[in-house]
Amino acid sequence: MKAKIFSHRHLIGTTDLQVGDESMGGMFGEFSPTEIYFEKIQKSVWEFWQTNKQDYQKWYSLRLNVQLKNGVFLFPQGGYTIDDITELPDEPKRINIVGVNSKIIQDFFLTNPPRPFTEEPWNELKIEQKIAFEDELKKELGFGDKSIFNFLRNTTKHPLFESDFSAFCHDQRNGYVLFEIRKPEFENQFALVHLTWTSKKEKEGYPSTTFYSDFDDFKYSRMYADKAELED
């Protein structure tokens, strides 16, 4: 399936992904870079592979995202790597992805032709929206807030505080955003969050959040109900 590769808000390349080891959520494809890749990213890729001990913190700072042709953004547990060797600049480049949710692969990648994954009023995301939603949620959860007042408060942390998350789709009518989530010993795979857009740590209980076991749970419990309400 055709896919776009982003670093932050920049389109750095495209690929035609194939499934490798489905049991491991493995995908790969030849990487066709844009000029922005050569200008802003290639040096970081070379540096990553040239060191004996890869600097993953620096690698993650590239904030890579892959969006499938049908609009789905992947959220691989093992992340992304780009094969680009300094000594062989003319060799084909490749993107490797590890740890994609198997149900995401089955539902949105292996179907032919690729089917839309949202129903109005729910929409797929543009990269600018995805980053904005994730950044706002981090602020509302208090990520990076080291204020002494937060240490002194005896408040319960939000259930999403110690999780990794990736914006998945949003309701075009309001501030509801569906996030794919990962948290140790937490079975739910998706969280519906009503962002407040205060851009600061919210009080206890906010932002309001509803959890879903998987995308089917969300689809049948919420998305189809919203569609029916819109059509009435």
- What is the dihedral sign for C-alpha 140, 175, 6, 70? positive
- Report percent pLDDT > 70 for the chain: 94
Could you tell me which residues are beta bridge partners of residue 209? 193
* The residue type at 208: S
Residue 147 pLDDT: 54
Residue 127's pLDDT band, with cuts at 50, 70 and 90, is: very high
pLDDT of 149 above 70: no
- As a whole number of angstroms, the distance between CA 186 and CA 190 comes to 11
**Coil, helix or strand for 99?**
coil
Nearest partner of 96 among 3, 175, 163, judged by Cα: 3
pLDDT band at 151 (very low <50, low <70, confident <90, very high): very low
What mean pLDDT comes out for the span 149-162?
69
Start-to-end Cα distance in the chain: 36
Please give the Cα distance from 215 to 189 (Å, whole number): 8
pLDDT at 154 over 70: no
Q: pLDDT tier at 214 (50, 70, 90 boundaries)? A: very high
Checking if the pLDDT of 106 tops 70, the result is yes
- C-alpha 154/C-alpha 165 separation (Å) is 25
Token readout for 37 is: 């890749």
pTM here is: 0.91
Beta-carbon count within 10 A of 226 CB: 16
Residue ranges of alpha helices (H) inside 51-99 are: 56-60
Of 26-30, 105-109, 161-165, 180-184, the poorest mean pLDDT is in 105-109
In three-state secondary structure terms, 60 is helix
Please check the confidence at residue 97 and state whether its pLDDT lies above 60: yes
The larger pLDDT score, comparing residue 17 to residue 153, is at 17
Q: Is the predicted pLDDT of residue 75 greater than 70, yes or no?
A: yes
Contacts of 52 (CB under 8 A, 6+ apart): none
- Note whether 140 and 206 are within 8 A (CB): yes
pLDDT of residue 155: 62
